Homo-oligomer: A and B are copies of this chain.
Protein backbone atom coordinates (compact mmCIF):
# COMPACT_ATOMS: atom_id res chain seq x y z
CA UNK A 1 0.00 0.00 0.00
CA UNK A 2 1.17 3.50 -0.80
CA UNK A 3 2.57 5.41 2.17
CA UNK A 4 0.90 8.58 0.90
CA UNK A 5 -1.79 9.85 3.22
CA UNK A 6 -4.50 12.21 1.96
CA UNK A 7 -4.27 15.62 3.67
CA UNK A 8 -7.00 16.62 6.11
CA UNK A 9 -7.70 19.85 4.24
CA UNK A 10 -8.19 17.95 0.99
CA UNK A 11 -10.72 15.42 2.22
CA UNK A 12 -11.10 14.90 5.95
CA UNK A 13 -13.21 11.80 5.61
CA UNK A 14 -10.80 10.15 3.19
CA UNK A 15 -7.86 11.10 5.45
CA UNK A 16 -9.64 9.41 8.37
CA UNK A 17 -10.32 6.16 6.53
CA UNK A 18 -6.85 5.97 5.02
CA UNK A 19 -5.15 6.72 8.30
CA UNK A 20 -6.96 3.89 10.08
CA UNK A 21 -5.89 1.39 7.46
CA UNK A 22 -2.32 2.65 7.01
CA UNK A 23 -1.67 2.91 10.75
CA UNK A 24 -2.84 -0.70 11.12
CA UNK A 25 -5.71 0.13 13.43
CA UNK A 26 -8.63 -1.58 11.71
CA UNK A 27 -10.15 -2.53 8.36
CA UNK A 28 -13.47 -3.44 6.87
CA UNK A 29 -14.33 -7.12 6.93
CA UNK A 30 -16.21 -9.52 4.70
CA UNK A 31 -19.27 -8.90 6.86
CA UNK A 32 -21.25 -5.83 5.84
CA UNK A 33 -20.57 -2.99 8.27
CA UNK A 34 -18.39 -5.05 10.61
CA UNK A 35 -14.73 -4.22 11.14
CA UNK A 36 -11.65 -6.17 12.04
CA UNK A 37 -9.75 -4.44 14.83
CA UNK A 38 -6.09 -5.11 14.10
CA UNK A 39 -3.55 -5.72 16.88
CA UNK A 40 -2.28 -2.12 17.01
CA UNK A 41 -5.81 -0.72 17.17
CA UNK A 42 -6.84 -3.33 19.68
CA UNK A 43 -3.90 -2.46 21.93
CA UNK A 44 -5.33 1.08 22.20
CA UNK A 45 -8.71 -0.40 23.15
CA UNK A 46 -7.02 -2.60 25.77
CA UNK A 47 -5.39 0.47 27.30
CA UNK A 48 -8.76 2.25 27.34
CA UNK A 49 -10.43 -0.80 28.89
CA UNK A 50 -7.79 -1.09 31.58
CA UNK A 51 -8.27 2.48 32.80
CA UNK A 52 -12.06 2.49 32.50
CA UNK A 53 -12.33 -0.86 34.25
CA UNK A 54 -10.22 0.46 37.11
CA UNK A 55 -12.43 3.55 37.38
CA UNK A 56 -15.60 1.45 37.37
CA UNK A 57 -14.27 -0.81 40.10
CA UNK A 58 -13.11 2.16 42.17
CA UNK A 59 -16.70 3.42 42.07
CA UNK A 60 -18.00 0.08 43.37
CA UNK A 61 -19.01 -1.73 40.19
CA UNK A 62 -18.40 -5.40 39.41
CA UNK A 63 -18.24 -7.09 36.03
CA UNK A 64 -20.57 -9.85 34.92
CA UNK A 65 -21.67 -11.41 31.66
CA UNK A 66 -25.16 -11.75 30.19
CA UNK A 67 -26.29 -13.62 27.06
CA UNK A 68 -25.65 -12.34 23.55
CA UNK A 69 -29.20 -13.17 22.55
CA UNK A 70 -32.44 -11.55 23.64
CA UNK A 71 -35.59 -13.64 23.08
CA UNK A 72 -38.13 -11.59 21.11
CA UNK A 73 -40.67 -11.63 23.94
CA UNK A 74 -38.15 -9.97 26.29
CA UNK A 75 -36.92 -7.60 23.60
CA UNK A 76 -40.41 -6.19 23.10
CA UNK A 77 -41.24 -5.87 26.81
CA UNK A 78 -40.09 -2.26 27.22
CA UNK A 79 -41.96 -0.63 24.38
CA UNK A 80 -39.91 2.48 23.73
CA UNK A 81 -36.65 0.58 23.90
CA UNK A 82 -38.00 -2.06 21.50
CA UNK A 83 -39.28 0.58 19.11
CA UNK A 84 -35.90 2.30 19.15
CA UNK A 85 -33.90 -0.79 18.26
CA UNK A 86 -36.30 -3.04 16.28
CA UNK A 87 -35.52 -1.36 12.96
CA UNK A 88 -31.85 -2.23 13.03
CA UNK A 89 -31.31 -5.54 14.74
CA UNK A 90 -29.85 -8.88 13.65
CA UNK A 91 -32.29 -11.75 14.18
CA UNK A 92 -31.38 -15.41 14.63
CA UNK A 93 -34.17 -17.61 13.27
CA UNK A 94 -32.49 -21.03 12.80
CA UNK A 95 -30.01 -23.20 14.64
CA UNK A 96 -28.62 -25.44 11.93
CA UNK A 97 -27.28 -25.52 8.38
CA UNK A 98 -27.52 -28.56 6.12
CA UNK A 99 -26.13 -29.60 2.75
CA UNK A 100 -27.97 -27.81 -0.01
CA UNK A 101 -29.42 -30.52 -2.28
CA UNK A 102 -29.60 -28.03 -5.19
CA UNK A 103 -26.06 -26.87 -4.82
CA UNK A 104 -23.36 -29.43 -4.20
CA UNK A 105 -20.76 -28.50 -1.58
CA UNK A 106 -22.87 -25.61 -0.37
CA UNK A 107 -24.90 -25.24 2.79
CA UNK A 108 -28.34 -23.82 3.42
CA UNK A 109 -30.50 -23.11 6.43
CA UNK A 110 -32.22 -26.29 7.58
CA UNK A 111 -35.95 -25.47 7.41
CA UNK A 112 -36.58 -28.08 10.13
CA UNK A 113 -34.34 -26.18 12.53
CA UNK A 114 -36.42 -23.06 12.93
CA UNK A 115 -36.43 -21.58 16.42
CA UNK A 116 -39.76 -21.42 18.19
CA UNK A 117 -38.96 -17.91 19.26
CA UNK A 118 -36.61 -15.63 17.33
CA UNK A 119 -33.51 -14.35 19.13
CA UNK A 120 -32.35 -10.78 18.70
CA UNK A 121 -28.59 -10.26 18.82
CA UNK A 122 -28.29 -7.69 21.63
CA UNK A 123 -28.16 -4.09 20.40
CA UNK A 124 -28.01 -3.18 24.12
CA UNK A 125 -28.76 -5.39 27.11
CA UNK A 126 -31.38 -3.67 29.28
CA UNK A 127 -34.04 -6.27 28.41
CA UNK A 128 -32.03 -9.42 29.14
CA UNK A 129 -30.42 -7.85 32.20
CA UNK A 130 -33.62 -6.55 33.80
CA UNK A 131 -35.26 -9.88 33.20
CA UNK A 132 -32.32 -11.37 35.18
CA UNK A 133 -32.38 -8.68 37.89
CA UNK A 134 -35.95 -9.74 38.66
CA UNK A 135 -34.44 -12.86 40.26
CA UNK A 136 -31.64 -10.98 42.03
CA UNK A 137 -33.59 -8.23 43.73
CA UNK A 138 -36.04 -8.90 46.52
CA UNK A 139 -35.07 -6.67 49.40
CA UNK A 140 -33.56 -3.22 49.95
CA UNK A 141 -30.51 -5.17 51.13
CA UNK A 142 -29.96 -6.31 47.52
CA UNK A 143 -29.59 -2.67 46.45
CA UNK A 144 -27.79 -0.88 44.99
CA UNK A 145 -26.83 -3.43 42.37
CA UNK A 146 -23.82 -2.07 40.46
CA UNK A 147 -22.87 -4.20 37.47
CA UNK A 148 -20.89 -3.62 34.30
CA UNK A 149 -20.40 -5.80 31.25
CA UNK A 150 -17.70 -5.69 28.54
CA UNK A 151 -19.32 -7.07 25.40
CA UNK A 152 -20.01 -6.92 21.71
CA UNK A 153 -23.32 -5.54 20.45
CA UNK A 154 -24.92 -5.38 17.02
CA UNK A 155 -26.93 -2.56 15.47
CA UNK A 156 -27.76 -3.00 11.82
CA UNK A 157 -26.77 0.51 10.76
CA UNK A 158 -27.17 1.34 7.09
CA UNK A 159 -24.24 3.73 6.79
CA UNK A 160 -21.18 2.55 8.64
CA UNK A 161 -17.73 3.97 9.27
CA UNK A 162 -14.68 2.39 10.90
CA UNK A 163 -14.87 2.84 14.69
CA UNK A 164 -17.51 5.59 14.53
CA UNK A 165 -20.46 3.52 13.46
CA UNK A 166 -20.15 -0.20 12.81
CA UNK A 167 -22.77 -2.94 12.72
CA UNK A 168 -20.93 -4.81 15.46
CA UNK A 169 -18.97 -2.88 18.03
CA UNK A 170 -17.28 -3.48 21.36
CA UNK A 171 -18.39 -1.55 24.40
CA UNK A 172 -19.06 -1.65 28.08
CA UNK A 173 -22.53 -1.26 29.43
CA UNK A 174 -23.19 -0.52 33.09
CA UNK A 175 -26.60 -1.47 34.46
CA UNK A 176 -27.46 -0.40 37.97
CA UNK A 177 -30.50 -0.77 40.21
CA UNK A 178 -31.32 1.55 43.10
CA UNK A 179 -33.87 1.95 45.87
CA UNK A 180 -34.51 5.62 45.23
CA UNK A 181 -34.84 8.01 42.33
CA UNK A 182 -32.27 10.37 43.83
CA UNK A 183 -29.70 7.61 44.13
CA UNK A 184 -30.20 6.53 40.51
CA UNK A 185 -29.86 10.11 39.28
CA UNK A 186 -26.68 10.51 41.34
CA UNK A 187 -25.28 7.30 39.78
CA UNK A 188 -26.04 8.50 36.24
CA UNK A 189 -24.26 11.78 37.02
CA UNK A 190 -21.32 10.01 38.63
CA UNK A 191 -20.76 7.90 35.52
CA UNK A 192 -20.95 10.97 33.30
CA UNK A 193 -18.17 12.40 35.47
CA UNK A 194 -16.14 9.18 35.18
CA UNK A 195 -16.45 9.32 31.39
CA UNK A 196 -15.49 13.01 31.29
CA UNK A 197 -12.46 12.37 33.50
CA UNK A 198 -11.38 9.47 31.31
CA UNK A 199 -11.83 11.48 28.11
CA UNK A 200 -9.89 14.47 29.40
CA UNK A 201 -7.16 12.83 31.47
CA UNK A 202 -6.41 9.80 29.33
CA UNK A 203 -7.63 10.62 25.83
CA UNK A 204 -6.60 14.30 26.21
CA UNK A 205 -9.95 15.02 24.61
CA UNK A 206 -11.93 17.90 26.13
CA UNK A 207 -15.65 17.28 26.45
CA UNK A 208 -18.78 19.23 27.23
CA UNK A 209 -20.95 17.56 29.85
CA UNK A 210 -24.65 18.00 29.39
CA UNK A 211 -28.07 16.43 28.98
CA UNK A 212 -29.71 15.36 25.74
CA UNK A 213 -32.92 16.95 24.52
CA UNK A 214 -35.92 14.64 24.63
CA UNK A 215 -35.70 13.63 20.98
CA UNK A 216 -32.02 12.64 21.29
CA UNK A 217 -32.52 10.49 24.40
CA UNK A 218 -31.77 6.79 24.59
CA UNK A 219 -34.88 4.74 23.78
CA UNK A 220 -36.37 3.89 27.15
CA UNK A 221 -34.58 6.57 29.20
CA UNK A 222 -36.12 9.41 31.20
CA UNK A 223 -32.91 11.40 30.89
CA UNK A 224 -29.70 10.91 28.90
CA UNK A 225 -26.49 12.57 30.07
CA UNK A 226 -23.72 12.87 27.52
CA UNK A 227 -20.15 13.91 26.99
CA UNK A 228 -19.69 15.69 23.66
CA UNK A 229 -16.32 16.15 21.98
CA UNK A 230 -15.34 18.28 19.01
CA UNK A 231 -13.45 16.81 16.08
CA UNK A 232 -10.91 18.77 14.00
CA UNK A 233 -13.36 19.18 11.12
CA UNK A 234 -15.81 21.04 13.34
CA UNK A 235 -18.21 18.14 13.79
CA UNK A 236 -19.25 16.96 17.24
CA UNK A 237 -18.92 13.41 18.51
CA UNK A 238 -21.14 11.92 21.20
CA UNK A 239 -18.42 10.12 23.13
CA UNK A 240 -20.32 8.50 26.00
CA UNK A 241 -23.79 8.48 27.49
CA UNK A 242 -25.22 7.78 30.92
CA UNK A 243 -28.96 7.21 31.21
CA UNK A 244 -31.39 7.67 34.04
CA UNK A 245 -33.97 5.02 33.15
CA UNK A 246 -36.54 5.88 35.81
CA UNK A 247 -38.68 2.84 36.62
CA UNK A 248 -39.33 2.01 32.97
CA UNK A 249 -37.46 -1.30 32.92
CA UNK A 250 -38.46 -2.19 36.48
CA UNK A 251 -42.09 -1.86 35.41
CA UNK A 252 -41.63 -3.68 32.10
CA UNK A 253 -39.96 -6.61 33.90
CA UNK A 254 -41.80 -6.29 37.22
CA UNK A 255 -38.71 -5.75 39.38
CA UNK A 256 -39.74 -4.70 42.88
CA UNK A 257 -38.03 -4.66 46.24
CA UNK A 258 -39.27 -4.69 49.82
CA UNK A 259 -38.30 -1.43 51.44
CA UNK A 260 -37.09 -1.04 55.04
CA UNK A 261 -40.68 -0.14 55.86
CA UNK A 262 -41.88 -3.42 54.35
CA UNK A 263 -43.47 -1.86 51.26
CA UNK A 264 -43.14 -3.26 47.72
CA UNK A 265 -41.53 -0.63 45.47
CA UNK A 266 -40.34 -0.57 41.87
CA UNK A 267 -36.60 -0.28 41.46
CA UNK A 268 -34.88 2.76 39.84
CA UNK A 269 -32.34 2.20 37.09
CA UNK A 270 -29.40 3.61 35.15
CA UNK A 271 -27.37 2.37 32.23
CA UNK A 272 -24.22 3.87 30.72
CA UNK A 273 -21.80 3.00 27.98
CA UNK A 274 -18.77 3.88 25.92
CA UNK A 275 -17.58 1.96 22.91
CA UNK A 276 -14.81 1.45 20.37
CA UNK A 277 -16.21 4.67 18.89
CA UNK A 278 -13.87 6.40 21.35
CA UNK A 279 -10.96 5.30 19.15
CA UNK A 280 -12.52 7.26 16.29
CA UNK A 281 -12.74 10.27 18.59
CA UNK A 282 -9.14 9.85 19.69
CA UNK A 283 -7.97 9.81 16.07
CA UNK A 284 -9.98 12.86 15.02
CA UNK A 285 -8.97 14.90 18.07
CA UNK A 286 -5.19 14.74 17.72
CA UNK A 287 -3.95 13.25 14.48
CA UNK A 288 -2.36 15.22 11.64
CA UNK A 289 -1.35 14.96 7.99
CA UNK A 290 1.64 12.79 8.91
CA UNK A 291 -0.59 10.22 10.61
CA UNK A 292 -1.80 9.23 14.01
CA UNK A 293 -0.95 11.24 17.12
CA UNK A 294 -1.54 9.30 20.33
CA UNK A 295 -1.65 10.65 23.87
CA UNK A 296 1.10 8.90 25.85
CA UNK A 297 -1.33 7.54 28.45
CA UNK A 298 -3.05 5.37 25.83
CA UNK A 299 -0.24 4.73 23.34
CA UNK A 300 0.59 1.00 22.99
CA UNK A 301 4.21 1.99 22.37
CA UNK A 302 5.22 5.17 24.18
CA UNK A 303 8.81 5.28 23.02
CA UNK A 304 10.48 3.71 20.01
CA UNK A 305 14.24 3.47 19.65
CA UNK A 306 15.73 3.33 16.16
CA UNK A 307 19.43 2.55 15.63
CA UNK A 308 21.26 4.24 12.75
CA UNK A 309 24.21 2.09 11.84
CA UNK A 310 26.48 0.62 9.21
CA UNK A 311 27.40 -3.00 9.76
CA UNK A 312 26.88 -5.43 12.56
CA UNK A 313 29.67 -4.13 14.76
CA UNK A 314 28.13 -0.67 14.99
CA UNK A 315 24.70 -2.20 15.62
CA UNK A 316 26.13 -4.27 18.46
CA UNK A 317 27.76 -1.25 20.04
CA UNK A 318 24.52 0.73 19.76
CA UNK A 319 22.39 -2.18 21.03
CA UNK A 320 24.51 -2.43 24.15
CA UNK A 321 23.84 1.21 25.02
CA UNK A 322 20.18 0.95 24.02
CA UNK A 323 19.66 -1.99 26.36
CA UNK A 324 20.54 0.24 29.29
CA UNK A 325 18.09 2.92 28.16
CA UNK A 326 15.35 0.34 27.61
CA UNK A 327 15.82 -0.95 31.16
CA UNK A 328 15.77 2.54 32.62
CA UNK A 329 12.61 3.45 30.74
CA UNK A 330 10.82 0.22 31.65
CA UNK A 331 11.77 0.74 35.28
CA UNK A 332 9.75 3.97 35.05
CA UNK A 333 6.77 2.02 33.68
CA UNK A 334 7.28 3.35 30.15
CA UNK A 335 6.51 1.00 27.25
CA UNK A 336 9.39 0.98 24.82
CA UNK A 337 10.22 -0.82 21.60
CA UNK A 338 13.72 -1.20 20.19
CA UNK A 339 13.33 -1.63 16.45
CA UNK A 340 16.54 -3.29 15.26
CA UNK A 341 15.03 -4.95 12.18
CA UNK A 342 17.58 -5.03 9.40
CA UNK A 343 14.95 -5.27 6.68
CA UNK A 344 14.03 -1.57 6.89
CA UNK A 345 16.12 1.59 6.73
CA UNK A 346 15.91 4.21 9.53
CA UNK A 347 13.96 6.61 7.30
CA UNK A 348 11.27 4.01 6.65
CA UNK A 349 11.08 3.29 10.38
CA UNK A 350 10.76 7.00 11.21
CA UNK A 351 7.86 7.27 8.77
CA UNK A 352 6.19 4.16 10.15
CA UNK A 353 6.24 5.35 13.76
CA UNK A 354 5.12 8.81 12.74
CA UNK A 355 2.16 7.19 10.95
CA UNK A 356 1.46 5.08 14.01
CA UNK A 357 1.61 8.02 16.39
CA UNK A 358 4.32 6.81 18.77
CA UNK A 359 4.73 9.81 21.12
CA UNK A 360 8.54 9.79 21.43
CA UNK A 361 11.22 8.52 19.08
CA UNK A 362 14.81 8.04 20.14
CA UNK A 363 17.50 7.63 17.49
CA UNK A 364 21.08 6.61 18.15
CA UNK A 365 23.83 6.75 15.51
CA UNK A 366 27.60 6.60 15.26
CA UNK A 367 28.13 10.17 16.45
CA UNK A 368 25.78 9.62 19.42
CA UNK A 369 27.80 6.58 20.31
CA UNK A 370 30.94 8.67 20.44
CA UNK A 371 29.32 11.61 22.25
CA UNK A 372 27.26 9.65 24.77
CA UNK A 373 24.06 11.16 23.39
CA UNK A 374 20.82 10.27 21.65
CA UNK A 375 18.36 12.24 19.55
CA UNK A 376 14.90 12.56 21.07
CA UNK A 377 11.98 13.57 18.81
CA UNK A 378 8.42 14.23 19.89
CA UNK A 379 5.53 13.28 17.64
CA UNK A 380 3.14 16.10 18.56
CA UNK A 381 5.36 19.05 17.62
CA UNK A 382 8.10 17.27 15.62
CA UNK A 383 10.68 18.99 17.86
CA UNK A 384 14.01 17.25 18.26
CA UNK A 385 16.75 17.59 20.83
CA UNK A 386 20.06 15.90 21.45
CA UNK A 387 20.38 14.73 25.03
CA UNK A 388 22.93 12.94 27.14
CA UNK A 389 22.33 9.23 27.55
CA UNK A 390 22.59 9.59 31.32
CA UNK A 391 19.60 11.89 31.35
CA UNK A 392 17.49 10.37 28.61
CA UNK A 393 15.18 8.32 30.86
CA UNK A 394 14.16 11.21 33.06
CA UNK A 395 13.92 13.61 30.10
CA UNK A 396 11.66 11.18 28.24
CA UNK A 397 9.49 10.60 31.30
CA UNK A 398 8.94 14.35 31.59
CA UNK A 399 8.43 14.68 27.88
CA UNK A 400 5.64 12.10 27.90
CA UNK A 401 3.81 14.13 30.52
CA UNK A 402 4.42 17.30 28.56
CA UNK A 403 3.06 15.73 25.38
CA UNK A 404 -0.05 14.48 27.17
CA UNK A 405 -0.65 17.99 28.49
CA UNK A 406 0.12 19.69 25.20
CA UNK A 407 -2.32 17.49 23.32
CA UNK A 408 -5.05 18.31 25.78
CA UNK A 409 -4.34 22.03 25.72
CA UNK A 410 -4.16 22.13 21.93
CA UNK A 411 -7.50 20.32 21.65
CA UNK A 412 -9.01 22.53 24.35
CA UNK A 413 -7.94 25.71 22.56
CA UNK A 414 -9.44 24.43 19.32
CA UNK A 415 -12.63 23.40 21.08
CA UNK A 416 -13.00 26.68 22.96
CA UNK A 417 -12.37 28.63 19.75
CA UNK A 418 -15.24 26.67 18.24
CA UNK A 419 -18.00 27.38 20.69
CA UNK A 420 -19.74 30.36 19.14
CA UNK A 421 -22.59 32.23 20.76
CA UNK A 422 -25.15 33.38 18.20
CA UNK A 423 -28.30 35.44 18.58
CA UNK A 424 -29.90 35.20 15.14
CA UNK A 425 -30.66 32.40 12.79
CA UNK A 426 -28.55 34.05 10.07
CA UNK A 427 -25.54 33.93 12.34
CA UNK A 428 -26.45 30.36 13.32
CA UNK A 429 -26.44 29.17 9.70
CA UNK A 430 -23.28 31.10 8.91
CA UNK A 431 -21.33 29.53 11.77
CA UNK A 432 -22.62 26.01 11.10
CA UNK A 433 -21.83 26.28 7.40
CA UNK A 434 -18.56 28.18 7.43
CA UNK A 435 -16.83 27.90 10.77
CA UNK A 436 -18.19 24.66 12.23
CA UNK A 437 -18.00 23.64 15.83
CA UNK A 438 -20.58 24.15 18.54
CA UNK A 439 -23.13 26.93 18.25
CA UNK A 440 -24.46 28.17 21.56
CA UNK A 441 -27.98 29.43 21.00
CA UNK A 442 -31.32 29.94 22.65
CA UNK A 443 -33.98 27.38 21.84
CA UNK A 444 -37.68 27.38 22.69
CA UNK A 445 -37.56 23.82 24.08
CA UNK A 446 -39.85 22.22 21.48
CA UNK A 447 -39.18 19.17 19.34
CA UNK A 448 -40.71 20.98 16.35
CA UNK A 449 -38.09 23.74 16.45
CA UNK A 450 -35.30 21.20 16.95
CA UNK A 451 -36.51 19.25 13.89
CA UNK A 452 -36.87 22.39 11.81
CA UNK A 453 -33.34 23.53 12.63
CA UNK A 454 -32.01 20.09 11.77
CA UNK A 455 -33.84 20.15 8.48
CA UNK A 456 -32.49 23.60 7.59
CA UNK A 457 -28.90 23.23 8.79
CA UNK A 458 -28.21 19.53 9.57
CA UNK A 459 -27.25 20.67 13.04
CA UNK A 460 -28.73 18.92 16.06
CA UNK A 461 -28.82 19.77 19.73
CA UNK A 462 -25.73 18.06 21.13
CA UNK A 463 -26.59 18.87 24.71
CA UNK A 464 -27.95 21.24 27.26
CA UNK A 465 -24.67 21.88 29.09
CA UNK A 466 -24.57 21.10 32.80
CA UNK A 467 -23.04 24.52 33.41
CA UNK A 468 -25.46 26.50 31.19
CA UNK A 469 -26.23 29.84 32.84
CA UNK A 470 -29.79 30.97 33.44
CA UNK A 471 -30.23 33.84 31.00
CA UNK A 472 -33.24 35.49 29.36
CA UNK A 473 -33.22 35.04 25.63
CA UNK A 474 -35.21 34.34 22.53
CA UNK A 475 -35.20 31.16 20.49
CA UNK A 476 -32.88 31.62 17.56
CA UNK A 477 -35.50 30.22 15.15
CA UNK A 478 -38.91 31.15 16.56
CA UNK A 479 -38.11 34.09 18.83
CA UNK A 480 -40.04 32.46 21.64
CA UNK A 481 -38.69 32.95 25.16
CA UNK A 482 -35.83 30.77 26.41
CA UNK A 483 -33.86 30.73 29.64
CA UNK A 484 -30.78 28.78 28.63
CA UNK A 485 -28.42 28.41 25.71
CA UNK A 486 -27.97 24.91 24.33
CA UNK A 487 -25.22 23.60 22.06
CA UNK A 488 -25.96 22.75 18.45
CA UNK A 489 -23.57 21.16 15.97
CA UNK A 490 -23.35 18.89 13.02
CA UNK A 491 -22.35 15.54 14.45
CA UNK A 492 -20.92 12.14 13.64
Contact = CB atoms under 8 A, between A and B. Distances in A.
A115 B156 CA distance: 11
Contacts of A90: 69, 92, 94-95, 119
B107 A121 contact: no
A129 to B, nearest CB: 9
Interface string A88-124: 1111111111100000011101000000001111000
Given A39-B147, A43-B62, A105-B76, A67 B29 contact: yes
A86 B97 contact: yes
A39 B63 contact: yes
Interface stretch (A5-13, A30-38, A233-241, A366-374): A30-38
A9 B42 CA distance: 47
A343 interface: yes
Nearest to A131: B30
A95 B36 CA distance: 20
Contact of A96 (B72, B96, B156): B156
A268 interface: no
A46 B57 CA distance: 13
A152 B153 CA distance: 11
A68 B154 contact: yes
A48 B92 CA distance: 31
Nearest to A86: B97
A135 interface: yes
Interface in A126-179: 128, 131-132, 135, 141, 147, 151-152, 154, 156, 168, 170
Given A39-B62, A141-B343, A152-B152, A87 B82 contact: no
Interface size class of A (residues with CB under 8 A): 35 or more
Contact of A68 (B43, B94, B152): B152
Nearest to A62: B39
Contacts of A79: 105
Contact of A36 (B45, B64, B152): B64
A66 interface: yes
A409 B276 CA distance: 44
Contacts of A106: 76
A308 interface: no
Contacts of A419: none
A346 interface: no
Interface string A187-229: 0000000000000000000000000000000000000000000
A17 to B, nearest CB: 16
Contacts of A35: 67
Contacts of A387: none
Given A86-B98, A90-B95, A71 B30 contact: yes
B82 A29 contact: no
A29 to B, nearest CB: 5
Given A29-B132, A31-B69, A34-B69, A64 B91 contact: no
Contacts of A42: 62-65
A438 interface: no
Contacts of A39: 62-64, 147
A151 B30 CA distance: 18
A75 interface: yes
A477 interface: no
B97 A89 contact: yes
A229 to B, nearest CB: 23
Interface string A13-38: 00000000000000101110011111
A154 B29 CA distance: 20
26 contacts: A27-B132, A29-B128, A30-B67, A30-B74, A30-B132, A35-B67, A36-B65, A39-B62, A39-B64, A42-B64, A43-B62, A45-B65, A46-B63, A68-B152, A68-B154, A69-B90, A86-B97, A86-B98, A86-B107, A87-B96, A91-B93, A91-B95, A91-B109, A92-B121, A93-B109, A109-B118
Given A34-B67, A39-B62, A89-B95, 15 more contacts: A29-B128, A31-B67, A31-B71, A37-B65, A39-B63, A42-B63, A42-B64, A68-B121, A68-B154, A69-B90, A86-B97, A90-B95, A92-B93, A93-B94, A121-B121
The 8 closest A-B pairs by CB, nearest first: A39-B62, A34-B67, A37-B65, A86-B97, A95-B156, A91-B94, A31-B67, A90-B92
